Each structure stands twice: as C-alpha cells, then as structure tokens.
Amino acid sequence: MSTPYAKLPAWADYVLIPLINLFVAFVVAGFVVILVGENPLRAAVVLVEGAFGRGQGIAFTLFYATTFIFSGLSVAVAAHCGLFNIGGEGQGYIAGLGIGIVCLAFDSVLPWWLTFPIAIIAAAAMGALWALIPAYLQAKRGSHIVITTIMFNFIAASVMVRALVGYLKPPASMAPQTRTFLEGAQLPKLNWVIELFGAKIRSAPFNVSSLLALAMAFLVWVLIWRTKLGYEMRTYGHSPKAARYAGISEIRIIIIAMMISGALAGMMALNPTMGDQHNVALEFVSGAGFVGIAVALMGRLHPVGIVMAAILFGMLYQGGAELAFEMPAISRDMIVIIQGLVILFAGALEHMFRPYVQALFASLSPKSVGMEAVKGKGA
C-alpha cells in the first residue's frame, strides 16, 4: 500500500493546516451568524475587542485559557497513548470533591501557599482515581474507554449532587454548594502582571493556577518527548502490536497514561473553585472538560499548540460573553457551535484540505514535499 500522503514541511503541517481548518470553521460559524440576522464581520470585531481590547478582557481570557490548558493537556496525554479520554469533564468535576474537602479542612488554619499544594494533590488524585476504573477495564477487560468514560461523567454528576446536597453544603443553606472558602484557600490574583503593561483591571479572576498550567504544559512536553515512559506511550499509541512486541506492558501503559490524563483533568478544577468562585458548586466545570477535546485537536496534541489553542478558546469564551451583550441575537451558545465546528474541521476532517495543500506545495517546489524521494522508492 502506498503512503496516502507525501510529506509536508513541518511549518505547513503544524501551522498552515490547523490555520486553514480553523479558518473554515469560522467561515461556517459566520454563516450561522448570518442565519440569525447579524453581520459576521462586525461580530468578529466585537469578539476580538471583547477578549483583548481592555486589560479586563485579557485577564478573563487568560483565566478561561488556564482551565482549557489543563483539559487540553489531559486529552492530549491520553491521545498520545491512542486513548480517547472523553471523561475529562467527570474527572474534573469529581476533583472538586477533593478540593472541597481540603479547602474546608485547612482554609482557616493554613495560608494559601500551603493549602494550594495539598489541594493540587487532592485534585490530581481524585481525577486520576476517576480515570483509573475505565483505564483498568480497558486494559484488563477490553471495555471501550470512550463509553466507560462517558458513563463515568454521568456517575460523577450524580455523586457530586449527592456529596454537595448531602454532606458538603452548610446545613442551614439551601444552595447546593460549599460555604465560601476563607482566605487560606483563595488563590492570589495575577492581575498585576497585566497591569504592569499599563492596562487597568477592576476585578478579574486571573490567578496563580495559570502558572501551574504552564508548568504542567512543560512537564507534559518533557514526559511525552523526553522520557522513556513517554516514548512507550507514543509507541503504544502508534501501534499497540509493535509495543507489545517491544515488551511494553499494555496494562501498565494504559493505566499510567489514563491516570496522568485524569490527574491533569482533575487539576482543571482548581482554577474555577479556588481561583474564582471560592467554593465548590453544582456543575462548576460547565463543559470545560469537553472544550479540552477541541483544544487538544486544535493544538495538534503538542503542549505549545495546546497553550495557544487554549488562549484562542479563552478568547472565544470571553469575547463570546461580550458578543452576547452587544448583539442580543447571538447568545453565548455561539461558542459551543464554534467548538463543535473546530472539533469537526480540525479533528474529524483534519485531512480534508491536505491533498490541496500538498498539490499546491508540489507545484511550487517539488523538493519541499519530498517528491523525488518518494519517486525514487517507487511508491
């Protein structure tokens, strides 16, 4: 069988094609805007201005992006091992339980810089634990991980309702959420970083968990491309057969990859709870776990790409809120459509434009796509 696609230069592969996919997704989204009777170009201007126009907007954009970096990394780590972890939503949600317990226990006695590490461990452990059962079932009994992780999303939702209503909420309160955390469990804001550049911020939830997100992005890069474990994961992702032949334990690699993925998804819960709302409430994840799928696909599973894609989605979330305010016909659900379109074009239809780009490159300079080499091999 011939190789279906000739090689493209790296920049085309990692920058040009994702940009084309993104562009097409936005063009289709533009048609939806026309359908509800608004001007898509003006909508785009409002969106970008809302996200980056003022310091306030930038801080919110980065706040949203932080959550998406975690969930994007979570999807990417599993994907490198050939697993589709669609359960980031549930893993992040259940991590809220660990965070809630830690914060309620320590917020009156410890300062934030001691509570935070404990909460990180609790969140990661809960997320990893929630991914462990689907991982074990996939590895040992061959249960399809996509289905089991979806099921665990629903189970997590039920468990969290039970935990919040039954145990975590203050007895006197009706609202299904914990009491507000004291100062010992409130993460300091990073808004001053943006203010250094002269922008004014009234109040925005951009906080230190963003630094954790960047650190995790770096660690994931080290893990995937610079360690033996990462190499084994990629090997298994490319070809389970080859991995087995090389003596890599299938069970071990699936479980480790999924637990790392779950831990990353769990850490996603730190940002909205300790960083913003200062409590654990019902549905506080609100779809961020699913955004991770789009972010990971858009970022082509590379941490640098994921950070950039996360900022893009942060921009959509923040700008989308402004857009809903400026143009009443466009609700915030526009973001969900864009999210779906990005998953469709950057994920499922990833290769749709590739042949055209290749043809273009081949006609411009045959050398850049390695045409001679391919001909030489007689493929």
Partner 1 sequence: MDFFNAIVQVLDSTIRLSVPLLLACLAGLYSERAGVFDIGLEGKMLAGAFAGAAAASVFHSALIGLGMAILISVAFALIHGFASITHRGNQIVSGVAINFIAAGSTIMLGQAWFQQGGRTPALAAGERFEAITWPGADALRSVPILGPIYSELISGHSVLVYLAFLAVPFTWWVLFRTRFGLRLRAVGENPAAVDTAGISVAWLRYRALICTGVLTGIAGAYLSMVQNGGFVKDMTAGKGYIALAALIFAKWKPVNAMFACLLFGFLDAASIRLQGTPLPLIGKVPVQFMQALPYVLTVILLAGFIGKAIPPRAGGVPYVKER
List residues binding partner 1 (CB under 8 A): 1-2, 4, 32, 35-37, 84, 86, 133-134, 137, 141-144, 146-148, 150-152, 154-155, 158-159, 161-162, 166, 290, 293-294, 297, 329-331, 333-341, 343-344, 347-352
CB of 351 to partner 1, least distance (A): 6
Which stretch of DSSP H or E encloses residue 57? helix 55-80
Q: What are the backbone dihedrals phi and psi of residue 200, each rounded to the nearest 5 degrees, phi first?
A: -100, 135
Closer of 48 and 336 to partner 1 (Cβ): 336
The total number of residues written for the chain in this structure: 379
Rounded distance, CA 325 to CA 313, Å? 18
Q: With respect to partner 1, which residue has the nearer C-beta, 115 or 138?
A: 138
Q: What is the closest distance, in whole angstroms, from the C-beta atom of residue 333 to partner 1 in the complex?
A: 4
Residue 313's closest CA among 347, 290, 280? 290
Nearest CB to partner 1, comparing residues 25 and 201: 25
Q: How far is the C-alpha of 314 from the C-alpha of 187, rounded, in Å?
A: 20
CB 210 to partner 1: min, Å: 25
Q: Which is nearer to partner 1, 213 or 301 (CB)?
A: 301
SS3 75: helix
Residue (248 or 336) nearer to partner 1, CB:
336
Of 85 and 207, the one with the shorter C-beta distance to partner 1 is 85
Query: Min. distance of Cβ 66 from partner 1 in angstroms?
Result: 21
The answer to whether 337 touches 30, Cβ cutoff 8 Å, is no
Closest approach of partner 1 to the CB of residue 60, in Å: 20
Residue pair 85/258 in contact (Cβ under 8 Å)? The answer is yes
3-state SS, residue 341 = helix
**57 contact partners, CB below 8 Å, separation of at least 6:** 49, 50, 51, 318, 319, 322
- From the CB of 149, what's the least distance to partner 1, in Å? 10
Taking the least distance from each CB to partner 1, the nearer of 73 and 120 is 73
Q: How would DSSP label each residue in 112-174?
A: HHHHHHHHHHHHHHHHHHHHHHHHHHHHHH---HHHHHHHHHHHHHHHHHHHIIIIIS-TT--
CB burial of residue 173 (10 Å; 0-12, 13-18, 19+): exposed
Kindly state the smallest distance separating residue 126's Cβ from partner 1, in Å: 17
